[in-house]
Amino acid sequence: MLANIKSNHKEYQIDLTQPLDISMSLKGGEKNITSWYLPRPTIAPAEVDGFIVSIADGAAVNSNTISFNPHAHGTHTECAGHITEAFYSVNDQLNQYFFVAELITVAPGKLNDDFVISKKQIQNLLGSNRPEALVIRTLPNYKDKCYKDYSHTNPPYLLEDAAVFLRDLGVKHLLIDLPSVDKEKDGGTLLAHKAFWNFGSKLRLDATITEFIFVSNKIKDGAYILNLQIAPFHNDASPSKPILYRVL
């Protein structure tokens, strides 16, 4: 099924039968990723007055209760409310869902004891492209990204100048396969988050950051149409399911 998507005053054609899912599924237990020093999520039958709501235990239906943190346990999309005292819900701020996107693959460079993504790296990979959304796949790109414990591992992160560059370029939606665009232990400075959302000036409330994606090595770098869908949580962040479509 072909569809025409109009964005940035241009029209793009995509095949809706060929989606490229770059989200991680959320699982209960040790097979799920975790970060930010939290235990892994749980998915278990609800219990009501001692009655377990599971067909295996005699109930008519299965009804699981899920306990998780959207920032720590899987693909999630967040708005500026993640770093503001005032409350902003990503469900209120994200009200368009199709965007012109560019997928780039970056090998983070060494900076002291850290691995980082710099402005220069992104500039070189983007060239003259000015996408609405940028999808960053980092190297190495192993499947353990989908189930490892990132706590106390000092994962790679975005330098502040890279976030400023993307903001000034007009990128509204940043997607990355790391736990955060910022350093795990930075003393609360959150330089990349703040730069991207223009914290301290006019907040970019319509801009989002999506973390913990996973882009298969089979998906080539280049231009795509991104469909960014979230669960309708009234929260600064929500589980999300970003989908890429090749531009025909």
Q: Hey, what domains does the chain have and what are their CATH numbers?
A: 2-25+70-246 (3.50.30.50)
Q: Residue 181's closest CA among 108, 96, 104? A: 108
136, 169 Cβ separation under 8 angstroms: no
Q: How far apart are CA 135 and CA 224, in angstroms?
A: 10
Name the 3-class secondary structure at 195. helix
Q: How far apart are CA 199 and CA 187, in angstroms?
A: 17
Name the 3-class secondary structure at 225. strand
54, 62 Cβ separation under 8 angstroms: yes
Q: Which residues, listed in sequence order, are joined to residue 117 by a DSSP beta bridge?
A: 158
Q: Which residues contact 89 (CB under 8 A, 6 or more apart)?
A: 79, 81, 233, 234, 235, 236
In tens digits, the chain (248 residues) has pLDDT values of 887 887 777 898 999 999 999 999 999 999 999 999 999 999 999 999 999 999 999 999 999 999 999 999 999 999 999 999 999 999 999 999 999 999 999 999 999 999 999 999 999 999 999 999 999 999 999 999 999 999 999 999 999 999 999 999 999 999 999 999 999 999 999 999 999 999 999 999 999 999 999 999 999 999 999 999 999 999 999 999 999 999 99
